[in-house]
């Protein structure tokens, strides 16, 4: 009955497609352990003859990688006693120290909470360096602000974090998640660097006319992640919406069977500093005006992805809403999704109230 119950919410997405917010999308809605909606809308591109988006479509989830992979790995290592959240980054990554004494004070906690003082984005790609060399450059990016004084959403911080986590277990992010995270959260089709046989299931994310000079389909849209070999702490994961819903269900089950409820609570609780932050550890929380709309409770947590994805989880209502899309097709100029996402979430909430 999903088309009947959620018709107004799906209409919001259809209007977004007509207005070229994105050419297509997939949706999953989970409540009280039940999958209430699982749907594909639109096409792979704005060409009406391109493939229809099926619910099984696999998307480049961009910065959802930060929570589905990197933060998930951090939670796992924390539970195993291998990750000290208050330990200085330089203890594990000496290259991070540089010549700035302030860097000695930056902790793992600060990287997760986006309060390290590192900038949001720095161009690392385009210099023909190996992924190992690019990672080392990322570890040397200068600070923008004093550590711990300001929340600045930072891709660079999560690149550094993934390098630190990999160093702790002597295994890269993708291999660790493939063995230790994805099987337990039922993320059966999620992967970094998708194999060629999955390409027909993946809508293209962009026409890259500057860096790679080709249509990007089945390879990460983010240039820095590409320069890092397709595996990075901030981007690189590909997933179908049902896998993300399974991950959300795990968190709504207070982490079972993968994490303890105390770990989930620690990582998803909004930070009390720096002043004005909406960040949790790896996660974000709704702060008006929120892309989650106006109905998610204060205990909610979630994340966005640059390519047009979002994941919001409301433990008070036992609700998770996932939207994946390729709003970056054919380029990144349209930002209409910023209007579509909150309207969609509000429509979902209203439908649940009257259903």
Q: What are phi and psi of 99, to 5 degrees?
A: -110, 10
Q: What's the rounded Cα separation, in Å, for the pair 30 and 249?
A: 7
Q: Kindly state the tokens that stand for 55.
A: 């619910």
What was the pLDDT predicted at 234? 98
Q: Which residues contact 165 (CB under 8 A, 6 or more apart)?
A: 70, 73, 74, 77, 83, 173, 176, 233
The structure tokens 């959260």 sit at 185
Please return the burial class of 260, using the count of CB atoms within 10 Å of its CB with bins 0-12, 13-18 and 19+. middle
The rounded Cα 282 to chain-centroid distance in angstroms is 9
Does residue 159 form part of some domain? no
What was the pLDDT predicted at 260? 98
Does residue 188 form part of some domain? no
What was the pLDDT predicted at 4? 95
Does residue 178 form part of some domain? no
Could you write out the DSSP letters of every residue in 189-209?
Answer: T-EES--GGGGGGS---EEES
Does residue 244 form part of some domain? yes
Q: Which residues contact 236 (CB under 8 A, 6 or more apart)?
A: 65, 69, 174, 192, 193, 220, 222, 225, 228, 230
CATH number of residue 342's parent domain: 3.40.710.10
Does residue 218 form part of some domain? no
Does residue 30 form part of some domain? yes
pLDDT along the chain (355 residues), means of 10: 96 98 98 97 98 98 98 98 98 96 98 98 91 96 97 98 98 98 97 98 97 97 98 98 98 97 98 96 96 96 98 98 98 96 98 88
Long-range residue pairs from 269-277, CB within 8 A, at least 24 positions apart, any chain: 271/113, 271/115, 271/151, 273/115, 273/148, 274/115, 274/148, 274/149, 274/150, 274/151, 276/151, 277/113, 277/114, 277/115, 277/151
| CB atoms inside a 10 Å sphere around CB 286 | 24
What was the pLDDT predicted at 239? 98
β-bridge mates for residue 313, sequence order: 301, 320
Contact indicator for 268, 230 with CB cutoff of 8 Å: no
β-bridge mates for residue 257, sequence order: none
Domain that holds residue 286: 2-62+238-354
Please return the burial class of 33, using the count of CB atoms within 10 Å of its CB with bins 0-12, 13-18 and 19+. exposed
The pTM of this model reads 0.97
Number of domains in the chain: 1
Q: What's the rounded Cα separation, in Å, for the pair 31 and 315?
A: 10
Does residue 100 form part of some domain? no
3-state secondary structure of 160: helix
Does residue 24 form part of some domain? yes
């Amino acid at each position: 009955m999903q088309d009947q119950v959620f018709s107004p919410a799906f209409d919001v997405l259809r209007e977004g497609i007509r207005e070229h917010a994105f050419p297509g999308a997939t949706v999953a809605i989970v409540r009280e352990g039940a999958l209430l909606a699982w749907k594909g809308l639109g096409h792979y591109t704005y060409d009406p003859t391109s493939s229809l988006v099926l619910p099984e479509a696999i998307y480049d989830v961009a910065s959802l990688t930060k929570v589905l992979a990197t933060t998930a790995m951090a939670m796992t290592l924390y539970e195993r006693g291998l990750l000290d959240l208050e330990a200085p980054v330089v203890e594990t990554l000496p290259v991070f120290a540089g010549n700035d004494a302030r860097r000695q004070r930056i902790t793992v906690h600060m990287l997760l909470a986006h309060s390290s003082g590192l900038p949001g984005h720095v161009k690392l790609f385009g210099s023909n360096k190996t992924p190992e060399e690019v990672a080392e450059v990322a570890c040397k990016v200068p600070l923008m602000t004093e550590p711990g004084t300001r929340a600045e959403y930072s891709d660079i911080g999560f690149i550094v974090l993934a390098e630190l986590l990999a160093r702790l277990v002597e295994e890269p992010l993708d291999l660790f998640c493939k063995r230790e995270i994805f099987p337990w959260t039922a993320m059966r089709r999620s992967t970094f660097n998708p194999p060629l046989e999955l390409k027909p299931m993946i809508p293209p994310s962009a026409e890259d006319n500057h860096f790679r000079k080709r249509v990007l389909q089945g390879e990460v849209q983010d240039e820095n992640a590409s320069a890092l070999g397709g595996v990075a702490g901030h981007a690189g994961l590909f997933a179908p919406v049902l896998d993300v819903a399974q991950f959300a269900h795990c968190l709504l089950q207070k982490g079972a069977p993968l994490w303890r409820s105390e770990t989930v609570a620690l990582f998803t609780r909004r930070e009390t500093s720096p002043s004005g932050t909406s960040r949790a550890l790896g996660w974000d929380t709704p702060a008006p005006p929120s892309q989650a709309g106006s109905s998610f409770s204060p205990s909610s947590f979630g994340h966005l992805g640059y390519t047009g994805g979002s994941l919001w989880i409301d433990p008070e209502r036992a609700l998770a809403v996932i939207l994946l899309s390729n709003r970056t097709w054919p380029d990144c100029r349209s930002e209409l999704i910023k209007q579509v996402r909150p309207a969609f979430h509000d429509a979902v909430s209203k439908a649940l109230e009257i259903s």
